[in-house]
């Protein structure tokens, strides 16, 4: 998967489409479903959004499970749809928001 290319396009205001693999987001996203990811602002993110992000060096299309308001910015708890948490990240590790899922 061309994660760096997707990050660059999103940073330039473009949307991207790709097919993530794995079952951790089912039934929201099935393995191989095509997702459309669009650029997002920090202020627009809310709990329950599905984002393309990086947590501890790994790329994910996962849920925003919680948002923590901290001095210097918000922190986003990222996890799958099976109640597993991957970690908490700053907005600089969120590259876009999933706006469409197609099987």
Q: Which helix (H) or strand (E) holds 2?
A: none
The reply to whether CATH 2.10.109.10 applies to domain 3-102 is yes
Residue 92: which residues within 8 A CB-CB, separation 6 or more? none
Would you state the pLDDT for residue 58?
95
Question: Burial of 68 by CB count in 10 Å (0-12 exposed, 13-18 middle, 19+ buried)?
Answer: exposed
Would you state the pLDDT for residue 72?
75
- Grade residue 62 by pLDDT with cuts at 50, 70 and 90: very high
Q: Tell me: the pLDDT tens digits for 69-84?
A: 877 789 999 999 999 9
Q: Minimal CA–CA distance to 65: which of 51, 53, 42, 47?
A: 47
Would you state the pLDDT for residue 87?
97
Rg over CA atoms, the chain: 13
Would you state the pLDDT for residue 1?
80
Handedness of CA 98, 100, 101, 102 (dihedral sign): negative
Q: Tell me: the pLDDT tens digits for 1-60?
A: 889 999 999 999 999 999 999 999 999 999 999 999 999 999 999 999 999 999 999 999
Q: Cα 37–102–17 angle (5° rounding)?
A: 30
> What is the rounded average pLDDT of the residues 60-74?
91
């Amino acid at each position: 998967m061309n994660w760096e290319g997707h990050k660059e396009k999103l940073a330039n205001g473009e949307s991207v489409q790709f097919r993530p693999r794995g079952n951790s987001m089912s039934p929201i996203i099935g393995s191989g479903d095509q997702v459309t990811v669009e650029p997002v602002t920090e202020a627009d993110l809310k709990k329950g959004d599905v984002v393309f992000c990086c947590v501890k060096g790994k790329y994910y299309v996962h849920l925003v499970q919680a948002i923590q308001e901290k001095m210097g910015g918000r922190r986003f708890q990222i996890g799958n749809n099976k109640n597993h948490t991957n970690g908490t990240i700053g907005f600089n590790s969120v590259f876009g928001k999933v706006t469409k899922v197609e099987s």
